[in-house]
Amino acid sequence: MSEGATAVPKPLAGKVALVTGASRGLGRAVALELAASGAHVIVTARSTRGHSTLAALPRTTVDDTADAIRAAGGQATPLRCDHTDPTQVEAVIEHIADTHGRLDVLVNNAWGAHEGGAGAGGGPEVWDEPLEGLRNMLLAGAYSDYVTSLLALKHLMGGQGHGLIVSTTWHTDEPPGWLPYEVSKAAKNRLVYALGHKLRDRGVTVVGVAPGWMRTEVMLQHHTEQELAGQTETPHYAARGIVALALDPQVSRHTGRILDVGELADLYGITDLDGTQPHWYAEHQRKKQVE
């Protein structure tokens, strides 16, 4: 910067964000993009340095995410938290209240229901599904979103009268797929709808963001870049959509809705890292109509 030049403030400077499940994948990308826009980002997950929940991906922890943010000139605080445990979640929220006194953006992204070798389907018939599958996914999805959102509202967002709560999710109007996954995502989506309407007059907006097929670290363990080319997107695409929502002064118009990333691209002009604007959901809907 030349002498006398004034630094342009970043649009989210002074804002505080909490991103759950931020050790890898979409959560990591959201944390990086929010920090790049100036927010101080609290990143949580169960994976910490030396104790990753995925042995094959030892460098995907909240500490690694925080290091990447700081290396890029941003601000981050890594905290270990299992978001299915209300005691741990409340400790995180109280830390934010004591340290920052505010919470502007909450991104509910924690998942982990596919760990431990869990795969799609337990047999040729729907009744062959392992009965614990739904319980695990509800805990890791809708329940963790429910706990984190309510505690954030209780200690910070409800009283401050403003804020954005985002849940990363999936459209459930697609042809039915893996049964427990479908039911768990439907629960997340209904939570978005119900909370959005209950908080409409409190200044807090609640939305769901549905990405397309993402090239996450886990996905790239099973497929090559060449196999995924042309039909996938990076996690930064949806992450940029979430930042756009955080910057929108009229974001309350979306409360209670599930927005797919292609729709966010049309609304806000966001692009993926390569400059493209994939519309996976819209293209899939068109194919269904043709069939």
Query: Residue 106's beta-bridge partner residues?
Result: 18, 165
| Positive or negative: CA dihedral 33, 38, 44, 49 | positive
- Name the catalytic one among 143, 146, 181, 281: 181
CA-wise closest residue to 149 among 100, 196, 95: 196
Q: At what angle do helices 235-247 and 261-268 cross, to 10 degrees?
A: 50
Residue 181 is among the residues annotated as catalytic for this protein: yes
Residue 253 carries which DSSP code?
G
Q: What is the 3-state secondary structure (H, E, C) of 210-252?
A: ECCCECCHHHHHHCCHHHHCCCCECHHHHHHHHHHHHHCCCHH
Q: How many residues does the chain have?
A: 291
Structure-block tokens of residue 42: 């609290």
Q: What is each CA distance from 86 to 42, 82, 108, 119, 146, in whole angstroms? A: 17, 8, 14, 27, 10
Residue 167's H or E segment, with its range, is: strand 163-168
The token pair that represents 232 in the structure block: 């996938």
Tokens describing residue 282? 């819209």
Cβ-Cβ contacts under 8 Å for 81 (sequence gap 6 or more): 20, 44, 45, 46, 88, 89, 91, 92
Token digits of residue 273: 């890292």
Active site residues: 181
